[in-house]
Structure 1
Amino acid sequence: MTVGIKSQVSSMLIDAATHYQTIDNFGASDAWSMDPIGKHWTDENKTRVADLLFSRENGIGLSAWRFNIGAGSEETDREIIRNPWRRAEAFRMSADSDYDWSKQAGQQWFLRAAKERGVNTLIAFVNSPPVWMTKNGHAQPDPGVGSTNLKPGYEPAFASFLIDVLKHFRNEGIEFQYVSPINEPTWDWNNSGQEGNRYNNDDLKRVLLEVYNQLKASDLKTKISAADGVEITSLLDDDLFEEFSGEQQYSSGANALGTGKYREYIKCMLGDPELKEAIGHKIASHSYWSDYDKPGDDRLGKLRELLVANIERYDPDAVYWMSEYCILGHDGHGRDFGMDAALRVARAIHFDLAAANAAAWQWWTAVSKEDYKDGLIYTDFKKPGDEQNILPSKILWALGNYSKFVRPGAVRIALNETDEDLASGLMGSAYLHEGERTLAAVFVNDSGEDRRISVSLQGLDVQGGVKVMHTYVTSEKHDLAQSDEVKVSANGTLEGIIPARSVVTWNGEWS
């Protein structure tokens, strides 16, 4: 394919006086591959993986890490969860047993590696309560358990278990900033191939308030992150869901069971004064099935506009986190080490940040052995003795265009682009970090042509202080590679080329 340069110059404006959300972090999770990798790989190979994920010098500099607190399926659910990489150990296997802190040793190795490399947001997340707290004794429900698999009245025991885990790690020098007690409560999870649990909205409230009350009574500083809804549509009020879809209400997952309500999470949590306080005026959701734009089904733009409007309906100051995503559905099958998947992910990141005002963006599983678009890094290792190969994807580097340069505490500022630019596959967002004295702009060019852009800076006295913007490119030929510098003219104008099918970061410092 011959790549040309679009003759028309795209003019953009970065207005540093117009502020949007403050960025909290970019991250990924350890589920569940980091346990076998951490247990069985050599220190040299584990260190390389940790550097790729967490190091700003040798990798993409993730600033958040999600640590899965297992429910014990490794001991009880081998006939249900056949894939050993999708099972998890538990730190405690009965109400009468002692805690065994040697469990999840591989995950613990990477948890410490993240902290050692400066990751400053650690999140403990739970897919299922420990198996001894569930109605059926398993780490996933079955059709007979009712609205949830958590035993009646076990909210205090479940919360106490989480507090014990958080305190243990705090005493070991690792403090979790957040705990997520519930994950994707909408799904029914019946006999699923991984740990999981459903909670209707009443179940959810009981669990979250109990965890909140026990956190308040403890000396922990950990906050709650919730509810990790499975997709944006499950969060919306019924009227806004109908506006988007034409259907009266969200009906996927456990909503079909007749065991309560598993939707409208914004209203459920931000519209409830008790829960709004418990979750710290922050709501977290996943962006699955929210990464495409089709006629009559605009899940990139329109859906996120409704999300923002829905949050503002109950709490204009609430913070939104995008806490999990990979490419699912038919398009998810098969590894993709090229730019097709990377550009799809980069578009999702752009719209989550620039349209949904997400303060955090977190990928699903950091390392995958699967033939699926669910990993930042891939390996063919399956069992001890196999080759410990490390296969970074372009998705890793495209995420790095954001995570390495848009650091916690940065504020998204206005970058005005035209509808024509967006329609033709060119999009950009800009970020100002007062503490690090940096200005970063990230561009996604999803078109087959190089795009020439002219960007004017205004609203901040950086024109005289920023002399040059360093350029970092992810494309078919480059992995977050430093490229030609873009000089800032005396009047605060920058001109450069965003290569075809690439993600590009301009990053500059001012004195």
Structure 2
Amino acid sequence: MKRLCIILIALLSCASLTAQESSPSLHLHLDKSEQHQKIDHFGASDAWSIQYVGKDWEEEKKEKMAQWLFSKTLGEDGTPLGIGLSTWRFNIGAGSAQQGDASEIKDPWRRSFGIYDSLTHKVQISNQEGQLWFLQKAKELGVEHFTAFANSPPYALTKNQLAHGNAETTLNLPKENYALYAQFLTDFLIEMEKKKIHFNLISPFNEPQWDWGKKNGQEGTAVQNDEVAPIVRLMNEAFLQNDLTTKIEVAESAQYNYVYDPSSNRPQRDHQLWSFFHPESSNYIGDLKLVSPSFSAHAYFTTFPLSKLKSSRQVIGNLMKDYKNLSFYQSEYCLLENNEEIKGKGKDLGMDPALYMAKVIHYDLTIANASSWQWWLAVSPYNFKDGLIYVDKKDKSIVEDSKCLWVLGNFSRFVRPGMHRVTADLKGQFDQDQLLVSAYQSRKETVVVMVNLSHQSIDIALPNKKKKKTYRTSSAENLKYTICTDHVILQPRSVTTIVE
């Protein structure tokens, strides 16, 4: 009798489990007719360590890193070998590396090699050979889009002959050198075209709100809105005269509030969307042929608490409706801030920072309607949550991938340029802050990205019984390939991409 009871209990348990699996409590609904923003790309930057890694690391290690970042190839089991970035940000150095200690930037790995010859006013691209190696490899592996960005004009052109300002609120470039800076960027693009590298975008200034100085330990300059505009006009003219088609990107705002706030703590460097793209503004540049129909900003310091994460993106999303011809780009982010959920300091290759990043990506795409999402350092040597890949300055044998790399890949590898975001909803009772779902569509396929922030498995019914490819990143997996049909089980603390 005891044995019979045990058998009955086991059978009932199996029946209950089978019923639970066959009848998920949540159902995914897609409205493919309701299209939102077009996706342009996902990417990362080559600042600053790529120069050293590309120049000094052995080929095998460099090839491995390039494959992780750029490859679209699948392994024998169907699992991707890389995250297939679709854009790559190339840092145009201002020359602090050549200045050495005189640059006032203590860490050599935060200095950049300049390509401007102050005697001849010519560009010497070969100075950035390490970066060029990765740039060429990105092109070879099929990266579709390239952006060049500068943190400072060449130090030889600046007011203080340094690649950073004096912690002032204005541009570290005398007006008489505005045209020289515009010509320098023009010459840079011409030289790159000779190397068969076409930059789709070029960004002349980065985070203009910060009063960059010695204490910041990196290249940079403050820039007021009425300093940005005349230089962009000079760039537009010089590019056209040289038959260049590269578009000029503005404004790489340091935080989202500087995009829209007319009375922030950075006067003359805020309210930037209106300042540059409203016809009534004296700094209007939206009518210039080679100004990009996009506006870029950085997601730093706007991600906690959750209410701020959502509300700041809601302002962006609503505001962009008034600028229908512009796309919004989140062009730089890493886990910089310290809050109750995450701390920037301390390298962490695991899922906690990766899931925090995934949450930011989700809300940037679904509330701010970002068309591009870009991480900060592709390769980091630091004890900080700023890298996708980590190296050791003193030991060239160490190359580590992070879960941030692979979770970014849940988006970048499958949500390809030209796709449109479509409406995705889950029917049923669940914590909407713990389960995040977004969907994207092209003519050929539909991609759904599900972020499970909870510590429970979640079974979700899918819209049809067709065979679908799934790719899961968890503490034990990196874009692991499997097949599903009418439902998918999300593992705790994981990100799953479904491709149909």
Judge same fold: TM > 0.5, yes or no. yes
Question: Cα distance 1:360–1:420, how it changes in 2: closer, same or farther (>3 A)?
Answer: farther
1:297-338 residue CA offsets vs partner (Å, 9 max, x unmatched) = x2221111111122223x123101110100012311101111
Which residue of the partner structure matches residue 365 of structure 1?
377
RMSD value over aligned CA atoms? 2.0
How far has the Cα of 1:202 moved from its partner? 0.5
Which residue of the partner structure matches residue 327 of structure 1?
335
1: distance between equivalents of 2:118 and 2:371?
A: 38
Secondary structure class of the residue paired with 2:285:
helix
Which residue of the partner structure matches residue 275 of structure 1?
285
How far has the Cα of 1:267 moved from its partner? 1.0
How far has the Cα of 1:418 moved from its partner? 6.4
2: distance between equivalents of 1:113 and 1:180?
A: 22
Which residue of the partner structure matches residue 70 of structure 1?
93
1:20 aligns with 2:36: yes
Structure 1 residue corresponding to 2:422, chosen from 407, 413, 421:
413
Which residue of the partner structure matches residue 82 of structure 1?
106
How far has the Cα of 1:422 moved from its partner? 5.0
Check conservation: 1:69, 1:126, Cα contact below 8 A.
yes
Larger radius of gyration: 2
How far has the Cα of 1:343 moved from its partner? 0.3
Structure 2 residue corresponding to 1:453, chosen from 442, 445, 460:
460
* Superposed counterparts of 1:25-174, under 5 Å: 25-57=41-73, 58-76=81-99, 78-79=101-102, 80-96=104-120, 98-143=122-167, 147-174=170-197
Secondary structure class of the residue paired with 1:108:
helix
Letter in 2 for 1:468: K
How far has the Cα of 1:209 moved from its partner? 1.7
Check conservation: 2:123, 2:191, Cα contact below 8 A.
no
How far has the Cα of 1:64 moved from its partner? 0.4
- The percentage of aligned residue pairs carrying the same residue is 37
Letter in 1 for 2:484: V
2: distance between equivalents of 1:348 and 1:419?
A: 24
The answer for unaligned runs of 5 or more in structure 2 is 1-16, 74-80
Which residue of the partner structure matches residue 468 of structure 2?
469
Secondary structure class of the residue paired with 1:504:
strand
Secondary structure class of the residue paired with 1:444:
strand
Secondary structure class of the residue paired with 2:313:
helix
Which residue of the partner structure matches residue 228 of structure 2?
204
2: distance between equivalents of 1:420 and 1:150?
A: 57
2: distance between equivalents of 1:25 and 1:136?
A: 37
2: distance between equivalents of 1:212 and 1:83?
A: 35
Which residue of the partner structure matches residue 349 of structure 1?
361
Check conservation: 1:93, 1:130, Cα contact below 8 A.
no
How far has the Cα of 1:281 moved from its partner? 2.6
* Superposed counterparts of 1:391-402, under 5 Å: 391-402=400-411
Check conservation: 1:34, 1:107, Cα contact below 8 A.
yes
Which residue of the partner structure matches residue 77 of structure 2?
none
How far has the Cα of 1:11 moved from its partner? 2.3
1:147-178 residue CA offsets vs partner (Å, 9 max, x unmatched) = 11011232211111001010101111111111
* Superposed counterparts of 1:234-273, under 5 Å: 234-238=258-262, 249-251=263-265, 255=266, 261-272=268-279
Letter in 1 for 2:62: K
2: distance between equivalents of 1:165 and 1:424?
A: 45
How far has the Cα of 1:419 moved from its partner? 9.9
Check conservation: 2:69, 2:85, Cα contact below 8 A.
yes
Check conservation: 2:471, 2:496, Cα contact below 8 A.
yes
Aligned length: 463
Secondary structure class of the residue paired with 1:103:
helix
Question: Cα distance 1:501–1:211, how it changes in 2: closer, same or farther (>3 A)?
Answer: same
Question: Cα distance 1:419–1:303, how it changes in 2: closer, same or farther (>3 A)?
Answer: farther
2: distance between equivalents of 1:424 and 1:66?
A: 32
Question: Cα distance 1:146–1:450, how it changes in 2: closer, same or farther (>3 A)?
Answer: closer
Which residue of the partner structure matches residue 246 of structure 1?
none
Letter in 2 for 1:176: F
The answer for unaligned runs of 5 or more in structure 1 is 239-248, 457-462, 488-493
TM-score normalized by the length of structure 1: 0.87
Which residue of the partner structure matches residue 488 of structure 2?
496
Check conservation: 1:93, 1:131, Cα contact below 8 A.
no
1:403 aligns with 2:412: yes
Which residue of the partner structure matches residue 310 of structure 2?
301
1:354-376 residue CA offsets vs partner (Å, 9 max, x unmatched) = 11111111100101010000000
2: distance between equivalents of 1:99 and 1:11?
A: 57
Which residue of the partner structure matches residue 391 of structure 2?
379
Which residue of the partner structure matches residue 340 of structure 1?
352
1: distance between equivalents of 2:261 and 2:429?
A: 32
2: distance between equivalents of 1:20 and 1:97?
A: 46
Question: Cα distance 1:367–1:146, how it changes in 2: closer, same or farther (>3 A)?
Answer: closer
